Amino acid sequence: MSESAAPKGVSTHVIFTRGLEKSYAMGSGEVMALSGVDLEVAHGEMLAIMGVSGAGKTTLLHILGALDRPTKGEVILEGKSLHERSEVELARLRNQYVGFVFQFHHLLPEFSGLENVMIPGMLRGARKKEVEEQAKELLSRIGLADRWNHRPGELSGGEQQRVAIARALINNPSVVLADEPTGNLDSSTAETIFELLREINERSGQTILVATHNASMAERMDRVIAVVDGKIAHNKK
């Protein structure tokens, strides 16, 4: 499907998928990670994706964020089809439209928190001084104004995850994809991270998709979908 042939109404959605499938070869057969996923996500929505381990949540997030390609089906991100794009084009779209927050923060240990946050902005080609100012503002907003020169090993788990969230926001993405962002945190710190994501959603209007096992957290989001055996089993407000 070309960009000009995007389905009617796609412009109202930050993410739009139809017939999404993903399979992996295993031995002499294959495993279906996703099977016929249709999904529409509105601008500014905060969506929870629930499901047991292996249900397909992470695979879905990776495909929505152009980190992986579907075996079949279509993904449209901000009105742009991801179908048959080169790796260079996908990297550019990821950098422009998507911020990622993972369960394991993936901060570079040799760099300070500030430098970690700056990386996507530098890859975008922005001026270093401009990116540094943006990174300091973000870190101040999330309560790390006095910690940005610390390396990840000098930060607590919650502080590391907040740095990862700031890194995801540095390019002002349309959508933030968070894969079990509180999975390795204690309940109090997990609540702090959730409230931070909610504040970002309400203040900046960014669309946020969170894959989580935390039912009480999911119920406080705008909508919840459940992924079971690679399919969307229910979809409710």
- Domain locations along the chain: 44-70+84-236
C-alpha to C-alpha distance for 165 and 169, rounded to whole angstroms = 6
Which CATH code, of 3.40.710.10, 3.30.460.80, 3.30.230.10, 3.40.50.300, is assigned to 44-70+84-236? Answer: 3.40.50.300
Span 165-211, pLDDT tens digits: 889 888 889 999 998 887 777 888 788 888 888 888 888 888 999 99
Query: What is the pTM assigned to this prediction?
Result: 0.85
User: Which pLDDT score is estimated for 205?
Assistant: 85
Q: What residues of the chain score a pLDDT lower than 70?
A: 1-11, 235-237
Query: What does DSSP assign to residue 1?
Result: -
User: Which pLDDT score is estimated for 2?
Assistant: 39
User: Which pLDDT score is estimated for 3?
Assistant: 44
